[in-house]
Amino acid sequence: MLPLLPADLPAAVLVVLHLAPELPSMLARVLGRDCALPVVPAADGLPIEAGRVYVGVPNRHLVVDQGDLIALRNGPRENRVRPAVDALFRSAARWAGPRVIGVVLSGGLDDGAAGLAAIAEQGGVALVQDPQDARFAGMPSAALAAVPAAEAAPATGLAKLVASHAGRPVAPWDAPDDSLIWETDMMKDGRSAIAQPGTPVGLGCPECGGGMREVRNGQAIHYVCHVGHSWSPQSFLAASDEGIEEALWTAISAMQEKAAVLGELATRADEAGDAETGRAHREQAERVARSAEVIRGHIDGKSQAAGTSS
């Protein structure tokens, strides 16, 4: 998409991809090879200037700040990642309203859907890569479900749409709602003068265990804990699956240890001539071992099913 943007684009482009937190990123250099616009890594405090591309850096959220400035923050992870596209989208929606063009491209799960809904609610333009054009259709499909009025096009067509919308005059917009203010405050500063919005739900945050609230943006919902960890529904389910599997492996380990101890007790009972006690310990060890195998079979079955579906 970037090579098709005109060199005189009257807008800045901010790019977020999920990046490995512990490795340096060459993304800006790679994207700049074929782009007519200068492409630079984002830096804290940089003014956002039209005709430039700013690329998120590892382990820092790229967000828009008041006065059209870039802020890089080590805030709560969203959907298990930092930088996160929803953090960028919400901050842009808060501070730039209808001046924003949000674009969701290929990707898994439903990252970006709630953020794109926030952009649309503040009067911005919502663009989505056609799911059939995307290598991974999850994010575009979720974005279109959250924002049905979004324009969908192949990646090559999105560049034309961005260019056609950029630079158009916009009308004044209403102040953002409390949920948008609270979430962007928590992301940038770790605190907010506004009480946490949303409806309490009986879910614990997979990141910190804190209670969470459901927040709605149009047709999109997501869950936020009191420190600001944010979860889309599909990302929450993925994290829950990981937690469940970890707990199951812990159970298997404990069962195997118990079976080993029971086996040792059975051997000692046999050596002492207590055949009845030895038999009881051995039978119990076998029951525990069978239970561990049942759980292992469940994990293996889920893994095979996931591999088939992917």
208 within 8 A of 227, measured Cβ to Cβ: yes
At a CB cut-off of 8 Å and minimum separation 6, what does 245 contact?
A: 299, 302
Q: Name the residue range of residue 157's domain.
A: 2-165
State mean pLDDT over 104-119.
96
Tokens of 2: 């970037």
- Within this chain, do residues 55 and 112 fall inside the same structural domain, yes or no? yes
- Give residue 68's Cα distance to chain centre: 24
- Within this chain, do residues 155 and 199 fall inside the same structural domain, yes or no? no
Q: Examine the fold and report which residue of 176, 209, 233 is the final residue of a domain before the chain moves on.
A: 233
- Within this chain, do residues 294 and 146 fall inside the same structural domain, yes or no? no
- The CATH code of the domain that includes 109 is 3.40.50.180
- Within this chain, do residues 30 and 129 fall inside the same structural domain, yes or no? yes
Tokens of 209: 């265990």
- Within this chain, do residues 46 and 139 fall inside the same structural domain, yes or no? yes
Examine residue 100 and state whether it is found in any structural domain, yes or no. Answer: yes
Q: Examine the fold and report which residue of 214, 233, 252 is the final residue of a domain before the chain moves on.
A: 233
What's the whole-number average pLDDT of the chain? 93
Consecutive H or E run containing 258: helix 233-271
- Whether the upstream peptide bond of residue 83 has omega within 30° of 0, thus cis, is yes
3-state secondary structure (DSSP) of residue 109: coil
Q: How far is CA 274 from each of CA 93, 182, 219, 287, rounded to the nearest angstrom?
A: 75, 68, 68, 20
12 within 8 A of 49, measured Cβ to Cβ: yes
DSSP character at residue 190: S
- Give residue 129's Cα distance to chain centre: 18
3-state secondary structure (DSSP) of residue 300: helix
Examine residue 78 and state whether it is found in any structural domain, yes or no. Answer: yes
State mean pLDDT over 202-212.
94
Q: Tell whether the model's pLDDT for residue 309 goes beyond 60.
A: no
pLDDT of residue 218: 85
DSSP character at residue 81: B
Rounded CA-CA distance 46/114 in Å is: 26
Examine residue 288 and state whether it is found in any structural domain, yes or no. Answer: yes
Examine residue 196 and state whether it is found in any structural domain, yes or no. Answer: yes
Kindly tell me the sign of the dihedral angle through the C-alpha atoms of 98, 2, 138, 198.
negative
Consecutive H or E run containing 261: helix 233-271
- Within this chain, do residues 14 and 160 fall inside the same structural domain, yes or no? yes
The amino acid sitting at 72 is L
Characterize the bridge pairing of strands 13-15 and 53-55.
Answer: parallel
pLDDT of residue 248: 92
- Within this chain, do residues 133 and 239 fall inside the same structural domain, yes or no? no
Q: Examine the fold and report which residue of 233, 252, 270 is the final residue of a domain before the chain moves on.
A: 233
Nearest partner of 11 among 39, 51, 59, judged by Cα: 51
- Within this chain, do residues 7 and 47 fall inside the same structural domain, yes or no? yes
- Within this chain, do residues 215 and 304 fall inside the same structural domain, yes or no? no
Nearest partner of 231 among 87, 26, 57, judged by Cα: 87
Percent of the chain surpassing pLDDT 90:
87
State mean pLDDT over 17-32.
91
Examine residue 32 and state whether it is found in any structural domain, yes or no. Answer: yes
- Within this chain, do residues 6 and 152 fall inside the same structural domain, yes or no? yes
145 within 8 A of 174, measured Cβ to Cβ: no
pLDDT tens digits, one per residue of 130-142: 999 999 999 999 9
Rounded CA-CA distance 264/173 in Å is: 74
Give the position of tokens 């005109």. Answer: 6
Query: Could you give the number of structural domains in the chain?
Result: 3
Examine residue 176 and state whether it is found in any structural domain, yes or no. Answer: no
- Within this chain, do residues 160 and 269 fall inside the same structural domain, yes or no? no
Predicted model pTM:
0.85
190 within 8 A of 207, measured Cβ to Cβ: no
Rounded CA-CA distance 275/266 in Å is: 8
- Within this chain, do residues 16 and 123 fall inside the same structural domain, yes or no? yes
pLDDT of residue 253: 94
3-state secondary structure (DSSP) of residue 146: helix
Examine residue 19 and state whether it is found in any structural domain, yes or no. Answer: yes
pLDDT of residue 243: 87
